[in-house]
Amino acid sequence: MNLLILGGTRFIGRHLTVAALEAGFEVTLFNRNRGGVRFSEVETLVGDRHGDLSALKGRTWDAVIDTSAYTPGAARRTAELLQNAVSYYTFVSTVSVYRDFAQSGMDEDAPVSTVTDEEVADVETTSRSESTGASYGRLYGPLKARCEEAVKEAFPGRALVVRPGLVVGPYDYTDRFTYWVRRVGLAGKGLGTEVLAPGKPERRVQFIDARDLAAWTLKATVAGMTGTFNATGPDYALSFGAFLETSRRALNPEAELMWVDDAFLIERSVEAGDLMPWHPVEAMPGWERFYELDTGKALKSGLTFRPLTETLRDTFAWDQTRQGDEPLKAGLTAEREAALLGAWRAESRV
Ligand SMILES: NC(=O)c1ccc[n+]([C@@H]2O[C@H](COP(=O)([O-])OP(=O)(O)OC[C@H]3O[C@@H](n4cnc5c(N)ncnc54)[C@H](OP(=O)(O)O)[C@@H]3O)[C@@H](O)[C@H]2O)c1
């Protein structure tokens, strides 16, 4: 297969590229060449989703996998440009497209959130250099929903929409999952033995290893699957408590979990977004069931998951190879965590 990947050098895209090369595909990448990994054996076309797309002109591919569109304009311009040059379009969207998460077990038919034409116009004109979902804040989900529409319009009957949940694993530049892996892995070995575990251990969590997502997305693309799929894991009901216990057992049994309740943390301005997948449901109206999506459709179509212990160990090993002492982008600093644990004990809530 002759495959074009829009993106392909950072996190999900990087794993897609690796999986495609391992499958023996001829791969072309399109990105700005801004510091992601360089695949020496792969042709890279340089351009910008918000600017120059000329490198894509006059070429043909069997399929394209789009990991880098965040605005409807960016999605529409490439989809229209590639309409007659590519047989099939896979768009990497997000579960954040849904209007709300009030119900457990929502499938792909749940309503998506909307954005006004004025808001879209504003984003298209003011965010031209932006390139991550975080840049779009509350509009991230509804903008991705509009991107999905743009792709489906340009490729009717030839488009696959993949909606991943929280994606984790090696090369995750957001540090959200890596925070827990590092925190538990280094407990008593440079970090405090006692690990602040937020909220209730029985709460559900969902996430997917980027390598499992990449493998399935590639398989679905090769098979020419169409339609929309929630893509998150695992294929059993995993709780936050089981996730952290498994981390402890897999990485460092010395770690001791100290569960601290939601209200205490919220009162002290700890943000749910900093400790994902902590999900203090009472403080998140409309988002209560975010980690309870129905993934049956993707499972039936062949989505599989490696064991959690493998994701944990590989992420820990990758994190240990990272250079420098840059603070993680997510989680609590050691000082903040110690202060919170001290205050929690002092209030005799344990
Ligand atoms: N990470 C998650 O947990 C998560 C969850 C759900 C959905 N998703 C979706 O998954 C997709 C991939 O996310 P990711 O975080 O893994 O990103 P990624 O694929 O790791 O990185 C983005 C890629 O796109 C390229 N790129 C970014 N802006 C560009 C632009 N303006 N023009 C051309 N190329 C550009 C980057 O290369 P250059 O910088 O060199 O241009 C890089 O190769 C996103 O669409 C996101 O909405 C992610």
- The enclosing domain of 27 has a CATH number of 3.40.50.720
- Tell me how far apart the alpha carbons of residues 288 and 96 are, in angstroms, rounded to a whole number: 13
Contact 29, 45 (CB under 8 A): yes
Residue 82 has a pLDDT of 98
Please tell me the number of Cα atoms within 13 Å of 22 on its side-chain side. Answer: 11
Question: The domain containing residue 86 runs over which residues?
Answer: 1-164
Collapsed DSSP state (helix, strand, coil) of residue 281:
helix
- Indicate whether 106 belongs to any domain: yes
Section 301-321 average pLDDT: 97
- Measured in Å, residue 59 CA sits from the centre of ligand 1 at 22
CA-CA-CA-CA torsion sign (96, 98, 103, 105): negative
Q: Considering the domain boundaries, does residue 325 fall inside one?
A: no
Domain-embedded: residue 200: no
Whether residue 295 has pLDDT greater than 60: yes
The CA 14 to ligand 1 mean position distance, Å, reads: 9
* Range from 189-198, 199-208, 319-328 carrying the lowest mean pLDDT: 319-328
Residue 130 lies in a domain: yes
The pLDDT of 45-72, averaged and rounded, is 97
User: How many domains does the chain divide into?
Assistant: 1
Q: In a mutational test of the pocket of ligand 1, which residue from 31, 89, 130 has the highest number of ligand atoms less than 8 Å from its CB?
A: 31
Flag whether pLDDT at 200 surpasses 80.
Answer: yes
Give the relative orientation of helices 240-251 and 176-185 as an angle to the nearest 10 degrees.
50
- Residues in contact with ligand 1 by the CB-under-6-Å rule are 7-13, 31-34, 36, 48-50, 67-68, 92, 94, 131, 133, 144, 164, 166-167
**pLDDT mean across residues, the chain:** 95
Residue 100: inside a domain? yes
Q: Is residue 247, in this structure, part of any structural domain at all?
A: no
The pTM score is 0.97
Distance from the alpha carbon of residue 208 to the mean position of ligand 1, in angstroms: 16
138 C-alpha to ligand 1 centroid (Å): 18
How far, in Å, CA of 8 to CA of 6, rounded? 6
CB 295 within 8 A of CB 231: yes
Dig out the tokens for 132 from the structure: 């991550």
